[in-house]
Amino acid sequence: MVKKLNSSPLSLFRLMMVAIIAFGLVVVPAGQASARPATAPTPSVSVSLPAAPFIGELLAINFTFSNANDTGYGPYMDVFLPLSGADGTSSGGANDGISFISANYLGAPVTTNILNCPAGTSVTHPLTGLSVSCPAQPGGLFSPFVWQMVVITMPFGSFVPGQPDATVTINAQLSNRADLNTGLPIQVRSGFMFGADPLDNPGTDPVIQSSISSVTPVPSPDLIRLVKTYSGPEDETATGPNYPREYTVTATIAPGQTITSLQNPLHSAH
C-alpha cells in the first residue's frame, strides 16, 4: 500500500526549508540585506626613500598601498614629485628637482598617467574626473613651482580586507643640477576610483580617497660622503708610540660631479 504524500502549501514550505538548511543556504528577505552596517574602505599609502640621495642619482622610491575595513574598487595612488626643484628653469636650464622615469609592481610595469600640476592651481584627475588642487608652493623653492603628478593605477580590480599590502616602485631621476642640501618635498595620496562597489556610479557611490600628505624624510641632495674605517688588526688597541695604527678615509662623490683640492676632508669621521 502506497501512502499518498500531503501536498498542501504548508507541507511544501516545510520541505523547502529543510532543503535550504541541508544545503547551507541563507535566504534574506528583500530590503533586509544585512543587519551589520557597512564600513567604508580606507585606503592609505606609506613611502620608503633615501633621506640624502646623491645629486644626479637614480632613485628607487617604494610606495606601499594598503586598505582597512571593507573592499574598495579601482585602487590608485597619486604621487606629487618636486619637478621644479630649488631653481626650476630660472637659470635657463632644465628643472633641477625630481622627475618620473617608470613604475613597476613586482618587476612588471604598471599603468601611469603623468601631468604637470602647478602649485596653487588645479587639474582634472585622469581616472576619477574630479578636480585636483595641486599642493601649495613649497617654501624657499622656485616660484612658480610645478609638481609632476604621477597617477598610478594599481594592478588589481579591488582591494579586499586582509589582502597583503602592495608595493609599487617608482624609478625617478634626481637632477644633476639639484641644489646641495636643499630639501625636495614629495606628496602622496591613495584612493578607490569606483568607491565601495565595482560600478561606475559616482552619484550614489562616490570616489573614496585619502587626503594629500607629505612624505618624510624630505630628500636632501648630497654631494660627497666620507667614511672613516679602522685598518688595525683588532677592534681595540693599546695606546702610545709603540702601537701605531691606521685609519682609511673613503670619499664617494655624486655621479658626474667633480671635486678639486680635496685635502684632509674628515678630521674625525665616524
Average pLDDT over the chain reads 84
As separate numbers, helices (DSSP H) first and strands (DSSP E) second, the chain gives: 1, 16
Contacts of 241 (CB under 8 A, 6+ apart): none
pLDDT category at 267 given cuts 50, 70, 90 is low
Contact 137, 143 (CB under 8 A): yes
pLDDT of amino acid 246? 82
Phi-psi region of 120 (alpha: psi -120 to 50; beta: other; left: phi over 0): left
pLDDT one-digit tens code per residue, 191-217: 999 999 999 999 999 999 999 999 999
Neighbouring C-beta atoms of residue 198, cutoff 10 Å: 13
- CA-based end-to-end distance of the chain: 102
Nearest to 188 by CA among 87, 66, 72: 66
pLDDT, tens digit, 9 for 90 and up, residues 112-123:
999 999 999 999
**Domain 42-214, second-level architecture:** Sandwich (2.60)
Question: pLDDT, tens digit, for every residue of 148-182?
Answer: 999 999 999 999 988 999 999 999 999 999 999 99
Domain ranges in the chain are 42-214, 223-270
